[in-house]
């Protein structure tokens, strides 16, 4: 039966379905186990988005890169550099919030452009190029300032702290105050990015060529697709999204310092893989990556609600999940291969 | 062959799946178990009058829930701090502690605090990783009516109503204590009117421990006109750098009487440098360190060090005291220093066993 379902859905959607089912199962388990601790509250669910808005943006960009068969491990350092630049420009140079944001986004685009040119046109391994990018961005962050810079810019803080209340799903807390669930603008940015990239990948020529390039570069070339240009565009877009993720991340922490967002890129890759993206390229879905992020967030929430487990268990569970999905993917790939052979 | 491979892969996948579910289960089981226990307890002695059983149950409900967002486990000091909270906030004392290790990441602490708010903990204790970026999330805590108590490090916020109190060490007082101990020690030895030459190994410049300790020593130094501070240089809180700086001090000055090292690790470096120069640390040159870590007691027992001024990580009892006051509706002081002792070498041997860090 499972095979029938898989054949109908295709490998792409089948992996996505598993991720979504897993997330829902975990979440329901959480609601049951921690029912006395208010796990079922709508705000707990929204907190997954609030706390991980930056990661959603980064994971969406990462998914796109992974679909082309590439990788970008400079994202975490880019996030740190963006935060630091924002803080430094606004606090030490007294540049307004909006010009500062535009500047960092432009820097993201330029960063992506350079990496993309090296990867697409000089055919250097994406891992090596972005490894260099990772060291460069982290180094630059320290050069800008080794101190912690706190953002005090009013416009910025106003956006960062602008609570958007939802008119439903509220609860009365212990002190008898009705509290409505809320989100921050960062969540809206994350969702918009997700929708736009989802649309691009599904419904545009550019999106389809991304899948084609990742599926089989040779045949994409033979089909007359401009492989190099597609790759370049993907890395530029990802550079932009990395900077945007940095801005969103900064809305949460409102400060810049060197050690920020270490290992962020790995979390983004893990989210994408759990969401059903294949590292070999050609298969993936940004919606899956969203659920990958949400699963990570749910595990973290589990652990804080449990209260005595070491928070390092998050990493161990993520590791188990990654193994599970990789094995599942390889099974799917091998059966697909077999079917192709037999026909 | 291929079918076999596939079966094996499937088996592996299912094992992983099961192991994953295994991870989330213990929590469920333990809650079940504790529940069983409570029902058992109440059932065990039906002879007991019901009101007593009821108060027992009520006591379980009345536990004060405290969420602690800790920095991580990067040093012995930090671990001792964690243990202090874990041993203070236990059920016997009427608390339930929800502990979160942020793995040195601020974003993890922010997440943890948001989860604490949803769990409706009674108090949040925060040992911030960094000083900045707390306005938003502490604002949420304030809105939810949950008091926040800071431990160890201060935060940089414009609105200080975001926290009710701060608990930590008083570095300036540590500096004062250091000078007072030295004065007493010299008097004991009959050297109070002698010319005394001092050098200081400073911590990482700009850190609150360095700034406070240097200032504390400076303040008290003016009371002793016959003392001279020959030189101050940073050893960046490390043993190797401390040794290096001490070596250069020994070359530049031939009559050093006292070394003040702004942490114990630098004092250990200084001891090595003094030994290498053929002098007897602790005898020819008086050595004072800060922090009073376990290794400092060992050095004092060996006779290489004269004194260490404590930097107390045991914040748990003080935080509990604050919470008790707040529970009674009393006001608490915003800044609260923990008690910190001075440990001279004579007491080291008997105290070393009682030291927890």
SS (H, E, C) A195-263: HHHHHHHHHCHHHHHHHHHHHCHHHHHHCCCCHHHHHHHHHHHHHHHHHHHHHHHHHHHCEECCCCCCC
For the record, the structure tokens of B346 come out as 């004579």
- Average pLDDT over every residue of B147-175: 90
Task: Indicate yes or no: CB of B130 within 8 angstroms of CB of A148.
Answer: yes
Q: Does A50 touch chain B (CB under 8 A)?
A: yes
Q: Does A307 touch chain B (CB under 8 A)?
A: yes
Task: Indicate yes or no: CB of A259 within 8 angstroms of CB of B27.
Answer: no
Q: Does B27 touch chain A (CB under 8 A)?
A: yes
Residue B158, pLDDT score:
83
Tell which residue, A86, A61, A84, has the closest CA to residue A74.
A61
- Average pLDDT over every residue of B250-278: 94
Q: Does B91 touch chain A (CB under 8 A)?
A: no
- Predicted ipTM of the assembly: 0.85
Chain CA centroid to CA A303, Å: 21
| Per-residue pLDDT tens digits for B21-76 | 444 434 433 444 444 444 444 444 444 444 444 454 455 568 999 999 998 887 77
Task: Indicate yes or no: CB of B110 within 8 angstroms of CB of A160.
Answer: no
Tell which residue, B303, B162, B118, has the closest CA to residue A31.
B118
B335, pLDDT greater than 50 = yes
| Per-residue pLDDT tens digits for B206-261 | 777 888 899 999 999 989 999 999 999 988 888 999 999 999 999 999 899 999 99
Domain membership of residue A98 (yes or no) is yes
- Average pLDDT over every residue of A110-134: 96
* b/e code A30-41 from CB counts within 10 Å (16+ = b): beebbeebbbeb
Give chain B positions within 8 Å (CB) of A257. 130, 132
Helix (H, G, I), strand (E, B) or coil at A3: helix
- Average pLDDT over every residue of A56-74: 96
A340, pLDDT greater than 70 = no
A7, pLDDT greater than 80 = no
Q: How many domains does chain A have?
A: 1
Q: Does B1 touch chain A (CB under 8 A)?
A: no
Query: In whole numbers, what is the pLDDT of chain B averaged over residues?
Result: 83
Instruction: Report the gap between the CA of A211 and the closest CA in chain B (Å).
Output: 27
Give the count of beta carbons closer than 10 Å to the beta carbon of residue A110: 14
Residue B201, pLDDT score:
95
**Do residues A227 and A69 make contact, with C-beta atoms less than 8 angstroms apart?**
no
- Which pTM value belongs to this model? 0.78
Residue A3, pLDDT score:
65
Tell which residue, B136, B132, B128, B24, has the closest CA to residue B68.
B128
Nearest-CA residue of chain B relative to A260?
B105
Domain membership of residue A214 (yes or no) is yes
Residue B4, pLDDT score:
47
- Average pLDDT over every residue of B322-338: 92
Domain membership of residue A221 (yes or no) is yes
The CATH code of the domain that includes A46 is 1.10.3470
Handedness of CA A164, A168, A169, A174 (dihedral sign): positive
Q: How far apart are CA A133 and CA A244, in angstroms?
A: 17
Domains of chain B by start residue, with CATH = 63-168+314-337 (3.40.50.2300), 171-311 (3.40.50.2300)
Give chain B positions within 8 Å (CB) of A302. 24, 27
Task: Indicate yes or no: CB of B107 within 8 angstroms of CB of A249.
Answer: yes
Task: Indicate yes or no: CB of A150 within 8 angstroms of CB of B112.
Answer: no
A300, pLDDT greater than 70 = yes
Residues whose CB is less than 8 angstroms from the CB of residue A140 and which lie 6 or more positions away in sequence, other chains included = A81
Residue A328, pLDDT score:
84
Residue B137, pLDDT score:
92
Domain membership of residue A338 (yes or no) is no
Instruction: Report the gap between the CA of A35 and the closest CA in chain B (Å).
Output: 10
Residue B37, pLDDT score:
42
Residue A13, pLDDT score:
79
Give chain A positions within 8 Å (CB) of B112. 304
Domain membership of residue A282 (yes or no) is yes
Instruction: Give me the residues of A, 104-133, that contact B with CB < 8 A.
Output: none
**Do residues B76 and B293 make contact, with C-beta atoms less than 8 angstroms apart?**
yes
Q: Does A177 touch chain B (CB under 8 A)?
A: yes
**Do residues A292 and A275 make contact, with C-beta atoms less than 8 angstroms apart?**
yes
- Give the residue numbers spanning the domain of A191: 10-34+41-306+313-332
| Per-residue pLDDT tens digits for B184-215 | 999 999 888 889 999 999 988 777 788 889 99
Residue A341, pLDDT score:
58
- Average pLDDT over every residue of B106-128: 92
Domain membership of residue A83 (yes or no) is yes
User: What would the DSSP string read from start to end of A18-80?
Assistant: HHHHHHHHHHHHHHHHTGGGTTTSHHHHHHHHHHHHHHHHHHHHHHHHHHTT-----HHHHHH
Q: Does A145 touch chain B (CB under 8 A)?
A: no
Give chain A positions within 8 Å (CB) of B6. 331, 334-335
Task: Place A168 in a pLDDT band, splitting at 50, 70 and 90.
Answer: confident
B8, pLDDT greater than 70 = no
Q: Give B281's DSSP letter.
A: B
- Average pLDDT over every residue of B334-345: 90
Residue B133, pLDDT score:
85
- Average pLDDT over every residue of A337-341: 59
């Amino acid at each position: 039966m499972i095979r029938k379902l898989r054949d109908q859905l295709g490998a792409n959607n089948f992996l996505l379905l598993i991720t979504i089912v897993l997330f829902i199962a975990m979440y329901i388990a959480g609601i049951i186990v921690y029912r006395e601790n208010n796990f079922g509250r709508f705000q707990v669910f929204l907190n997954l988005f609030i706390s991980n808005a930056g990661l959603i943006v980064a994971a969406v960009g990462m998914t796109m890169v992974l679909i082309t068969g590439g990788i970008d491990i400079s994202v975490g350092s880019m996030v740190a550099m963006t935060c630091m630049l924002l803080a430094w420009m606004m606090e030490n140079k007294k540049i307004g919030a909006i010009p500062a944001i535009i500047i960092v986004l432009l820097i993201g685009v330029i960063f992506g452009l350079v990496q993309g040119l090296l990867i697409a046109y000089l055919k250097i391994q994406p891992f090596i190029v972005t490894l260099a990018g990772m060291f460069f961005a982290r180094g630059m962050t320290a050069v800008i300032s080794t101190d912690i810079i706190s953002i005090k810019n009013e416009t910025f803080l106003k956006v960062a702290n602008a609570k958007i209340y939802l008119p439903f799903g509220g609860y009365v807390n212990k002190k008898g105050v009705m509290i409505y669930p809320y989100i921050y603008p960062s969540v809206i940015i994350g969702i918009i990015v997700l929708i736009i990239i989802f649309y691009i990948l599904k419904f545009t020529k550019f999106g389809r060529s991304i899948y084609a390039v990742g599926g089989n570069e040779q045949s994409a070339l033979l089909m007359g697709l401009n492989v190099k240009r597609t790759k370049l565009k993907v890395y530029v877009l990802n550079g932009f999204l990395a900077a945007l993720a940095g801005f969103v991340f900064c809305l949460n922490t409102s400060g810049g310092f060197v050690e920020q967002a270490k290992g962020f890129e790995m979390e983004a890759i893990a989210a994408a893989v759990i969401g059903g993206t294949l590292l070999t390229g050609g298969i993936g879905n940004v919606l899956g990556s969203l659920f990958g992020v949400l699963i990570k967030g749910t595990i973290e929430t589990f652990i804080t609600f449990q209260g005595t487990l070491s928070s390092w268990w998050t990493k161990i569970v993520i590791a188990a999940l990654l193994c599970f999905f990789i094995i599942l993917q390889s099974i799917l790939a091998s059966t697909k291969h077999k079917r192709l052979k037999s026909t | 062959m291929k079918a076999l491979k596939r079966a094996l892969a499937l088996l592996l996948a299912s094992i992983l799946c099961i192991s994953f579910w295994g991870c989330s289960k213990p929590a469920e089981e333990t809650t079940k178990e504790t529940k069983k226990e409570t029902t058992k307890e109440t059932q065990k002695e039906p002879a007991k009058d019901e009101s007593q059983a009821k108060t027992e149950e009520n006591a379980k409900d009345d536990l004060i829930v405290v969420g602690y967002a800790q920095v991580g486990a990067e040093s012995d000091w930090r671990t001792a701090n964690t243990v202090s909270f874990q041993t203070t906030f236990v059920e016997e004392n009427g608390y339930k502690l929800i502990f979160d290790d942020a793995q040195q990441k601020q974003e993890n602490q922010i997440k943890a605090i948001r989860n604490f708010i949803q769990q409706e903990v009674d108090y949040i204790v925060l040992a911030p990783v960094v000083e900045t970026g707390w306005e938003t999330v502490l604002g949420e805590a304030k809105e939810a009516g949950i008091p926040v108590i800071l431990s160890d490090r201060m935060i940089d916020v414009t609105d200080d109503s975001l926290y009710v109190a701060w608990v930590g060490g008083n570095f300036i007082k540590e500096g004062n204590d250091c000078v007072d101990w030295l004065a007493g020690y010299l008097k004991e030895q009959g050297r109070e009117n002698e010319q005394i030459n001092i050098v200081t190994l400073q911590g990482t410049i700009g850190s609150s421990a360095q700034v406070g300790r240097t200032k504390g020593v400076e303040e008290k130094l003016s009371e002793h006109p016959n003392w001279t501070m020959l030189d101050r240089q940073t050893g960046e809180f490390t043993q190797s750098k401390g040794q290096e700086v001490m070596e250069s001090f020994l070359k530049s000055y031939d009559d050093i009487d006292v070394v003040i090292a702004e942490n114990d690790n630098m004092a250990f470096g200084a001891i090595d440098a003094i030994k290498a120069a053929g002098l007897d640390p602790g005898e020819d040159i008086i050595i004072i360190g800060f922090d009073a870590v376990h290794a400092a007691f060992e050095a004092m027992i060996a006779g290489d060090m004269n004194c260490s001024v404590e930097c107390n990580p045991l914040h748990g009892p003080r935080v509990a005291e604050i919470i008790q006051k707040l529970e009674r509706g009393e006001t608490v002081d915003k800044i609260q220093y923990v008690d910190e002792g001075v440990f001279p070498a004579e007491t080291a041997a008997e105290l070393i066993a009682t030291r927890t860090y």
